Amino acid sequence: MPPRVSVVLPVRDGGPWLEAAVASILQQTLRDLELIVVDDRSRDNAVHRLDRGDPRLRVVPSTAAGVSAAFNTGLALAGGTFVARMDADDIALPHRLQRQVEYLEMHPGTAICGACV
């Protein structure tokens, strides 16, 4: 069964932020998700330091063509009903995806939903 949400996180040289960004997604209150980290040929080994113990996490290579191409690579692999975008230097609050999915389901004509603190 496909996940409810596919989170696509393109990264190139995510350095000290990537692990926290990934953890903030994997610790969401909405658990029915996949996280696709698209490595745009990072040189800093941040992607290799990720804990691969969570089956919802998938790391895939990209061609160093930039963030848009890396996002498109992840988007092509996404199987979720909804797709969320995440940057390597962002932290998602624990209820982010739950609230966004609830909003989108209550407003089926809405195509895009953002967040602001």
115 pLDDT more than 70? yes
- Interval 2-22: pLDDT, tens: 999 999 999 999 989 999 999
pLDDT at 78: 98
What local confidence, expressed as pLDDT, does residue 82 receive? 97
What sign has the CA pseudo-torsion 89, 94, 96, 97? positive
d(CA 15, CA 66): 17
Q: Report the pLDDT value the prediction gives residue 10, as an integer from 0 to 100.
A: 97
pLDDT at 64: 85
- Phi, psi values for residue 44, rounded to 5°: -105, 5
